[in-house]
Amino acid sequence: MRAREIETTLNLSSNPCIVTGDQVLLQQVLVNLLMNAMDAMADTAPARRRVTISTEVKTVDVEVSVRDTGTH
């Protein structure tokens, strides 16, 4: 992300939790989301390239979001 001049913001839940699942598959989902975000900002001016990764722990779920400032 540094090489593509993308600013990253993490908004992580203050409630720690353990996510049960296939570690490789979960990692691949996050990598795919970040790669898609970076690709979506290819035509965005470097000063406007931002990715925000957020997590929210709910009663029995964890919500993860990846937002970008791209146009695609």
Tell me: the pLDDT tens digits for 6-54?
999 999 999 888 888 999 999 999 999 999 999 999 999 999 999 999 9
Q: Is residue 2 part of a domain?
A: no
H-type alpha helices, the chain: 23-40
In a domain, 38, yes or no: yes
Name the pLDDT band for 59 (thresholds 50, 70, 90).
Answer: confident
Residue 49: inside a domain:
yes
Residue 1 lies in a domain: no
Residue 48 DSSP code: G
Whether the pLDDT of residue 71 is over 90: the answer is no
Residue 21's domain spans which residues?
A: 7-68
The count of structural domains within the chain is 1
Instruction: Look at 57 and 71; give whichever has higher pLDDT.
Output: 57
Flag whether 27 is in a domain: yes
Question: Please, which residues have CB within 8 angstroms of residue 41's CB and are 6 or more apart in sequence?
Answer: 4, 6, 49, 51, 68, 69, 70
